Amino acid sequence: MKIERKIIEKIAEEIALSLGKSEKWKERIIRRVIEGTIIRIIPERLWIVKGLPHLGDRYPSYEIYRKDKRYICTCYTHPWSSRRRPCTHVGAVLLYENMIKILNMEPGPGFEPGK
């Protein structure tokens, strides 16, 4: 589905600002969503995010769980894991779910930016 890139960026910006995250973090979550890396397993409870080696992922996929209002990524359990949280896997899930809600869309494999 084509969506104007500025809409994707605006939603991502709101998420990044609310979490105190950088512009680079925001761009990484946009890339993950655009490249169709998110698979919704159980709505609003469990997602799989495909790993992207060009973004530094070391595994083919990561599971994100929602427990109460917290999101937990399996990357947090790896010994090399960054202490910076939430990770971009969680950020991508937040972007994906917010796009679905705000734009009243059906979940799908990815969102293609338009002009």
In angstroms, the CA 87 to CA 39 distance is 17
- Residue 58 is inside which H or E element, if any? none
Domain map (residue ranges) of the chain: 2-114
Answer yes or no: is pLDDT of 80 > 80. no
Which amino acid is it at 60? P
In angstroms, the CA 99 to CA 59 distance is 26
| Per-residue pLDDT tens over the stretch 41-71 | 888 899 999 999 999 898 999 999 998 888 9
Task: Look at residue 107 and give its three-state secondary structure.
Answer: coil
- For the chain, how long is the longest CA-to-CA vector? 41
